[in-house]
Structure 1
């Protein structure tokens, strides 16, 4: 069984939407280094913070737990 790494999906989803770490950190009111730590798996990402990030990214929370590689609607439309 493969371990789901939420932080990897967090980075993939954010990048697919063309959103920067700086933008999300500012919206959350936290230092960019703290947010970067979430994406690298170096900082514990609590549920309430993940819900806030999902809201900023306009993404259903369950997508952060998917095993498959994320594809944004934007990329699907381009194909």
Structure 2
């Protein structure tokens, strides 16, 4: 496990085209920080990846946690 590896949990509220109402989903995983990348940059990258995975162009973050992936 790399020292720059982080575990994240992000919960989004979003809409899908053609569907009525709001949906919510939680996504978790690991991400490796690139050299010079900030926490904000990681958040933006994770948000974009989560939205793409959920099939939406944007979402409202209800919860976000990012922590080193080592114990």
How high is the TM-score relative to the length of structure 2? 0.32
Larger radius of gyration: 2
Structure with the higher strand share, 1 or 2 = 2
Higher RCO by CA contacts (8 Å cutoff, separation 6 or greater): 2
